[in-house]
Copies of this chain bind each other. A is one copy, B any other.
């Protein structure tokens, strides 16, 4: 592939002149511009990003770590980040962690090797300690969807306790007294928080609660089916169920349907996350909205300004999910 030197030779000028026209420096004669442009076209010249990054001491890239790009939730997150990054002239380097500590570590290191100035990291596999270490190393690193007290000003997180509390409270206020919970069996903070919110709401409203009303499964459709089946088997007098996320709610709905139990008529269901599928389920799923776009934009802006040595403004960093009422909960109208 042609280099700047080849172009210089072809255009009969020095490489400095070529560099000037490439970078649209004002000090370049019209004659040079034309000659160089022609030569570049003729040779099919393409500037080498690595060489530029090296001499400019800047890769013009920002890094993102997600769990899995094929998950629509992360898709939305990446898009939001890409939009604000692009607006600032940066492009994205994306790593997948698949919730494995080792993969997350390797991905972050890759981003560091590429000298990403700003980093938006979604990590569920790494320990607080390790993330804190990374954050010390990279000034422009921001943690998203997780709260670490020691680096609170670098975290953009969601209040999952409150979210789950709100969802459960909504059921209670609509007259439900026997509310089950379909819980994830992933051992991460989110799991614990969402379960806590559910329990707290029951306690605050003086409703009975019991482990018996809770069942577990993988945080996907199959897990929801499994948990719902188990719940059904116990023959509990449930009139409503709160779930860990929309996927589990989908599995739950599916099992219910197969058993001739109709939501919301026979039982009410509330999801969590407001992912793309919630609009497509039948009945359309009432769920808690996870403002991931907003949070991702915020995280990106924060990471970028941190990378630029600007200190973090102490704004909201703990977001609160909001209820999206659709049709899966029977309400007292």
Contacts and interface: CB of A to CB of B under 8 A. Distances in A.
Nearest to A96: B82
B70 A70 contact: no
A94 to B, nearest CB: 6
A276 interface: yes
B50 A114 contact: yes
A203 interface: no
A14 interface: no
B113 A48 contact: yes
Interface string A209-232: 000000000000100000000000
A277 interface: yes
A51 interface: yes
B279 A281 contact: no
B59 A69 contact: no
Contact of A281 (B74, B92, B221, B280): B280
A208 interface: no
Contact of A250 (B54, B91, B94, B280): B280
B44 A113 contact: no
B279 A221 contact: yes
Given A49-B50, A50-B114, A72-B276, 14 more contacts: A1-B115, A44-B137, A46-B113, A48-B113, A49-B110, A69-B78, A70-B76, A91-B93, A91-B95, A93-B93, A250-B280, A280-B281, A281-B281, A281-B282
30 contacts: A1-B115, A44-B137, A49-B113, A49-B114, A50-B51, A50-B54, A50-B59, A54-B54, A69-B69, A69-B75, A69-B82, A70-B72, A70-B76, A70-B78, A70-B79, A72-B75, A72-B276, A75-B75, A79-B96, A91-B93, A91-B95, A93-B93, A221-B279, A257-B282, A276-B277, A277-B277, A277-B280, A280-B280, A281-B282, A282-B282
A38 to B, nearest CB: 18
A53 interface: yes
Nearest to A94: B94
Contacts of A49: 50, 110, 113-115
Contacts of A250: 280
Given A250-B280, A276-B72, A277-B276, A46 B94 contact: no
Interface in A166-218: none
Contacts of A279: 221
A47 B79 contact: no
B96 A94 contact: no
Interface string A74-100: 111011001000000001111110000
A282 B256 CA distance: 13
A153 interface: no
Contacts of A76: 70
A116 B72 CA distance: 26
A71 B72 CA distance: 7
Contacts of A69: 69, 75, 78-79, 82
